Amino acid sequence: MRCESDNNYTCFYFRSGERILVSRTLKDYEELLEPLSFFRIHKSSLINLRYLKKYKKGEGGMVTLEDGTQLEVSRRRKEDFLKILNKQ
């Protein structure tokens, strides 16, 4: 459902509730997963757009995923994020 940066590690959060920590950067996974409906909404968050439940407007805004997780969208990435949402 999402990936979260932890310095030089990335934590994967799965729909089942399982979590896996790997020793590669979020940037490595951003490049691999972008063609599979993933979008980097913040320097520390990469989400699968298929599990996006809602977007709340704000300075950058907030997203809510199907599991109830709420994450901030950075101001810098907001415009590109909204373009992607409008294409879906």
Kindly list the structural domains of the chain, giving each domain's residue range(s) and its CATH number in brackets, ordered by start.
2-87 (2.40.50.1020)
Q: For 77-85, what is the mean pLDDT?
A: 94
The single-letter code of the amino acid at 55 is: Y
DSSP helix/strand/coil, 13: strand
User: What gap in Å lies between CA 68 and CA 20, rounded to an integer?
Assistant: 19
For residue 82, pLDDT over 90 is answered with yes
pLDDT band at 74 (very low <50, low <70, confident <90, very high): very high
Of 68, 32, 67, 29, nearest to 45 by C-alpha is 29
